Amino acid sequence: MKVLNLCTLAGFPPFFFEEMEKRTKLLLNTEFSDELVENPVFQELIERITEFSKDCNIIGYHYTRANKEDILKEGLKSKSGQEIRETFLSRYSGLFTVEELETIKKLWDAYFDRIMVESRDHRIFFNLTTTALFDGGAEPLLKYYGGEQVYMPLQRESSIAQKLQSIGTPLLIKVILDPKQLSNFYEDDIAKIAISSYHRNKNNNADQYDRDVYQQQPISPSQIEITNLKG
């Protein structure tokens, strides 16, 4: 199956680049990608790319601070927050004092209420471009071990936060995704994100249209490529 990279635009057909080149003046004079992708002059191109991409997979990017060996062996698993936090404690409780462990459990209990559980459990999140590496969006994910299910309520506890920064390695995980399995993703997003990525190549001041998407199905090791990032 063909794979499209919405960030580098690898895999996109020649007609996409030909049509975008015709709009160079508009790209250079438009700052906001939200405004650009809603411009009627791109409607036909959006429809053509949407049709082209119906049987394509896409690349997603998952940011995390983790143990690389675990991911190479297990891929990305779909877990509940409780399972993630219990695994964390079984592995790393020895790094924390009794008082710190009490604080960790108290903050977790207060933060991960029913609403948080419903919005985060059994979901693996992805961006569809690497913009978060440069605008600060991925910074806490790469800085603190364990993902948001672990670190979110602990960041302001300095001694605990420092220890979370000492575990694991910051990783960029590149994944082949089936758009049909993604939530918070719409049929024309492939075209809109591609237009925005091309826009940024032409206009360095342009922002990036992107989606925070997620899926509940686990990701096997064969679907991923891992890059170590500087911590």
Amino acid letter, residue 124? I
Enclosing domain of residue 18: 3-228
| Average pLDDT over every residue of 75-99 | 96
Percent of the chain surpassing pLDDT 90:
90
Whole-model pTM?
Answer: 0.93
Does pLDDT of 29 surpass 70?
A: yes
> Mean per-residue pLDDT for 182-193?
95
pLDDT over threshold 70, residue 231: no
Instruction: Calculate mean pLDDT across residues 186-215.
Output: 93
Q: What pLDDT, on a 0 to 100 scale, did the predictor assign at position 102?
A: 97
Give me the number of domains the chain comprises.
Answer: 1
The whole-number average pLDDT for the span 168-184 is: 96
Q: What pLDDT is recorded for position 35?
A: 86
Exposure string of 173-185, with b = 16+ CB inside 10 Å and e = fewer, is bbbbbebeebeeb
Residue 127 confidence (pLDDT): 96
Mean per-residue pLDDT, 57-84? 96
Mean pLDDT of the chain: 95
pLDDT of residue 33: 84
For 125, the enclosing helix (H) or strand (E) is strand 124-127
The confidence band for 81, taking pLDDT boundaries of 50, 70 and 90, is: very high
Q: Quick one: CA torsion of 152, 226, 197, 13, rounded to 10 degrees?
A: -140
| Residues 6+ away with beta carbon under 8 Å from 142 | 63, 64, 65, 170, 171, 229, 231
| Residue given tokens 């049929």 in the structure block | 187
Tell whether the model's pLDDT for residue 32 goes beyond 90.
no
pLDDT of 230 = 76
Confidence bin at 36 (pLDDT 50/70/90):
confident
pLDDT of residue 204: 85
In whole angstroms, what is the distance from residue 124 CA to residue 175 CA?
11
pLDDT digit string, tens, across residues 124-158:
999 999 999 988 899 999 999 999 999 999 999 99
